[in-house]
Copies of this chain bind each other. A is one copy, B any other.
Amino acid sequence: MQTRRNFIEKLSLSALAVPFLQLDSWGQPKHGLFYEGPVLRVALMGLGSYATRVADAMKDCKKAKLVGAISGTPSKLPNWQKKYNIPASNCYNYSNFDDIKNNKDIDVVYVTTPNAIHHNNVIRAAAAGKHVICEKPMALNGKEGQEMVDACRKAGVKLLVGYRMHFEPNTLEIIKMRGNGEFGKLRFFNGLSGFRIGDPNQWRLNKELAGGGSLMDIGIYSINGARYMLGEDPIWVAAHETKTDPVKFKAGVDETIQFEMGFPSGAVASCLSTYNMNYLDRFYMVGDKGFAFLQPATGYGPIKGHTHKGELSFPHIAHQTIQMDEMAGIILENKNPIVAVDGNEGLKDLKIIDAIYKAVGTNSKVEVSL
């Protein structure tokens, strides 16, 4: 667990360390400074903008290190090798990727490809005996997700999902307060997730690659957020779709979905998933005895948390840095995260997505069994 104290200690160490910095060949602080434990050796698969963000964030990791790259566009590899000091022997394309099974220098493959090929890539990585981290949504639907969970279990490798908010300190503080009963009986979660998407030609707006629209990208934050904020899983969903721009958002690519969820305790959630609005990114939770909100709740920048007791205040560290250090602990040391990030967690969100699309299609409330 990343506590506030850990952060302060980490910051203090960094400050102390500056005069004695040992720089590596890229001019970066030497990896694992003041850390003597095991290091997770990561290969990134799918070298798009998110992979770059993860790679940059990993420069500050203590327990995880980027050592490999796998691309369907192998012309990207030389730049990655140079920028991140990756040896040629740890670079793969989609044809020779299965050979990674013979590579003793890579522990885990982190899949950041378009959604539609998560399923195949995760199963290939597992078959090669590598642990797998997969970006969210873990797959296109629950059926695929179940097959991925089963494949990883069979292969004896761990499957984690890139839920970076599960390690974010404002979020974890609210979850801790909830556990202490500080909000009383929880009643309501309001999640507003969305942004106005740009380039109409990107893979996220291609049904074949994305498997859907906003719900498969940004909406999943409200689905998952409702669950980790309230601390329970929904038993029903209802959902309504609105499309104002059928040229940009083609058939099967949802522009805006409003969805509601009901939970065993009687708590309810009202959520928005959209590719057509800015000024969102807010989670709000109401209990008998208090409230909490996160705004921004899931953006890449600093998260702001507030409760009925006041504002939370944690220093911002790139979420992907914390995530990868914590995932190293989970994979190498069998640590248990506060909020699960394994394949079953990803599968639950996929089953809810299935139910939301079904509710949109049938215009009716749909029961969910997770």
- Chain A residues near B (Cβ < 8 Å): 187-188, 190, 192, 238, 240, 242-244, 256, 258, 260, 262, 265-266, 268, 270-272, 274, 276-280, 284, 286, 290-291, 308, 363-365
Contact = CB atoms under 8 A, between A and B. Distances in A.
A280 B268 CA distance: 14
Given A240-B262, A268-B256, A270-B258, A277 B188 contact: yes
Contacts of A363: 364-365
A187 B276 contact: yes
A270 B192 CA distance: 10
Given A242-B266, A256-B268, 19 more contacts: A187-B256, A187-B274, A187-B276, A188-B274, A190-B272, A192-B284, A238-B240, A240-B260, A242-B262, A244-B265, A244-B266, A258-B260, A258-B270, A260-B260, A277-B286, A279-B286, A279-B308, A363-B364, A364-B364
A52 to B, nearest CB: 29
B258 A279 contact: no
Q: 9 closest Cβ contacts across the A-B interface?
A: A244-B266, A279-B291, A187-B277, A258-B260, A279-B286, A277-B286, A270-B270, A242-B268, A258-B270
A270 B272 contact: yes
12 contacts: A187-B256, A187-B276, A188-B272, A188-B274, A190-B192, A190-B272, A240-B260, A242-B268, A244-B266, A258-B260, A278-B286, A280-B286
